[in-house]
Amino acid sequence: MTDVTHGRPDVGDIFPQMTLSTPDGGEFSTASLAGKPAAVFFYPKDNTPGCTTEAKDFTALASQFADAGVAILGISKDPPESHAKFIAKQALGIPLYSDTPPDAGDGLAETLGIWVEKNMYGRKHMGMERTTFLIGADGRIARVWRKVRVKGHADAVLEAARAL
C-alpha cells in the first residue's frame, strides 16, 4: 500500500488529492471526499457515444449509489464549459469535473497513469484511458476497472459499491 505520485495505483493505494474545475467555474477538491466512499469514473470526451452512454448509465443509478452512501463523479480533460453543455444536453444527474490544472501542471489523470498514448487510424495521440476507481471511506482505492467496456459497467460498480 503506497501513496500515489505517478504510476498505476492499485487496490489499497491512497487516492491522490487534486483540485478539479467544476462546470460553473468553481473548484472541487478530491480531499473533500475524505470519510465518504466514492465511485470516480474517468472518460475520454463529452458528447461521444460511449461517454454519453456511460454518463447516462451512472445517472440512471445515481439514487441507488446515494442509498449505498457512495458519491459518483465523472472526470475528463474537457473544459468546464463543455461539461455544462454535456450535462444540459444529456440531462445528466451526476457531477462532472475537468481535469485541467490551472497551473498547467500534471492533472489527476497523469498522476493516476491513465493519460496514455493512444493509436487511432494509425495516428498517435494522448488520451484518457476509460478507468473507474472505487474509493473507500478511508481514502484508499477499494477497486479499479481499467480499459472499461461501457455496457453493464455502472451496474458492476454499483454492485461493488454496495459491498463496501
In the three-class reduction of DSSP (H, G, I as helix; E, B as strand; rest coil), residue 84 is classed as: helix
Backbone angles phi, psi at 51, to 5 degrees: -70, -35
Map 119-135 to HEC letters: EECCEEEEEECCEEEEE
Catalytic-residue membership of 39: no
> Which entry of 18, 51, 73, 94 is annotated as an active-site residue?
51
Whole-Å CA distances, 137 to 29, 95, 151: 15, 19, 27
- The residues that are catalytic are 51
